[in-house]
Amino acid sequence: MPIPRPPTAATPAAAVGERRRAAPGFLELPLEIRLQIYGWVHLQHPMRPAELMGYPSPNYSAYFVETIVPGVLATRVEDEPTKMHRTTEDVATTPPPPHPPRQQHRLLSPHRPLCYVPTAVLQTCRQVYAEARATPFHGNEFIFSTWFSSGLAAASAFVHKTLRSGWQRQALRFARLELHVKDLCTAGPRLRDWEALCETLSPGLRGLRLKIDLDDRTLLSAVSVGRPPARVWARPSMHDDSVSDDGDDSGGGRGTVFSPAWSREPFRWVDAGLAALAALRFLEVELAGMPGLSNDDKSAWCESLAERLNRGRDPRATVSVVCVERARRPPGSGGKGCGVFR
């Protein structure tokens, strides 16, 4: 078989044109192959946070979580590894009910990239731009962590100011958001920002990893999702009929009064916030910052959250709510792992 030679000056122009036509162009490739190429280009361009003069740059790292095991008490619910021991309720004559192992819970993947598609690729032609522009929004996990302020402020600024086009907001699929409990229970701009954020991300957001920082049991009682929270974090005065609507305590100053600054609708952050996320299918909730909070209480609170969130929702559009905590051992370090990732 003769070895093909590159065209030379003596090669007829017609033969060169035939060879060029024989090799398919990029836009002639199947769409599936072009999308795969866009994905590879996207993964090869990781984003690096801009350095601010005089301020430390936050380092990006994968955030690993694991499902909560009921019947276990965490002595510290912080970013550092926690020490665990069994609660006193477990010491009983009857064995506790079996719980599904962690490996059966499917968690959102912590390995999603934070990359971009170069502008030079998007400027190639209109067809390439239309096909590749949504790749970062579909594959990235957008992270809004608590740095100088709550992650809610960063998320609102990014969604409403940086993402100026509607297709960008609709294409965003996965996010990790750190909130303070006051963002959800305080009537005012924070709660309105939360509702506006959920309404904006409603068409596209499918997976949300939500971390709620708790610092006061009374505040957590104010964001109850249907039934009084577990005994560890609920104050009876929050559900005491002796407390009037205007915040006056007619019961002789017993307990803590429901502050007028807090929302009069304790479920508003769910009904007008999370429930507005029409495309949401997977929700992971991490309750952090309150030492001595048992995992039974966390699980019960998340179960009531799931019940209220899925109330009146189409059975085919239910949201899977999983109660999680910061992983003590990342996968591959000798631990039991963090479940099966989506």
Instruction: Kindly state the average pLDDT of the residues 209-237.
Output: 53
Q: 126-137: b or e for each residue (b if 16 or more CB lie within 10 Å)?
A: eebeebbbbbbb
Q: Is 142 helix (H, G, I), strand (E, B) or coil?
A: strand
Distance, in Å, from the CA atom of 132 to the CA atom of 198, rounded to the nearest integer, reads 25
pLDDT in tens, 108-154: 888 888 899 999 999 999 999 999 999 999 999 999 988 778 899 99
The confidence score (pLDDT) of residue 185 equals 78
DSSP assignment of 90-137 equals: G-SSSPPPP---GGGSEE--TT---B---HHHHTS-HHHHHHHTTHHH
The confidence score (pLDDT) of residue 103 equals 40
pLDDT in tens, 280-290: 999 999 988 77
The confidence score (pLDDT) of residue 278 equals 93
Q: 219 or 60: which carries more pLDDT confidence?
A: 60
The confidence score (pLDDT) of residue 22 equals 67
DSSP assignment of 272-314 equals: TTGGG-TT--EEEEEEES-TT-BHHHHHHHHHHHHHHHTTT--
Residues 6+ apart with CB under 8 A from 152: 144, 177, 179, 180, 183, 190, 193, 194, 197
pLDDT in tens, 225-253: 544 443 333 332 233 333 333 434 333 33
Tokens 């959800």 belong to which residue? 184
Count Cβ atoms below 10 Å from residue 312 Cβ, excluding itself.
8
Mean pLDDT of the chain: 73
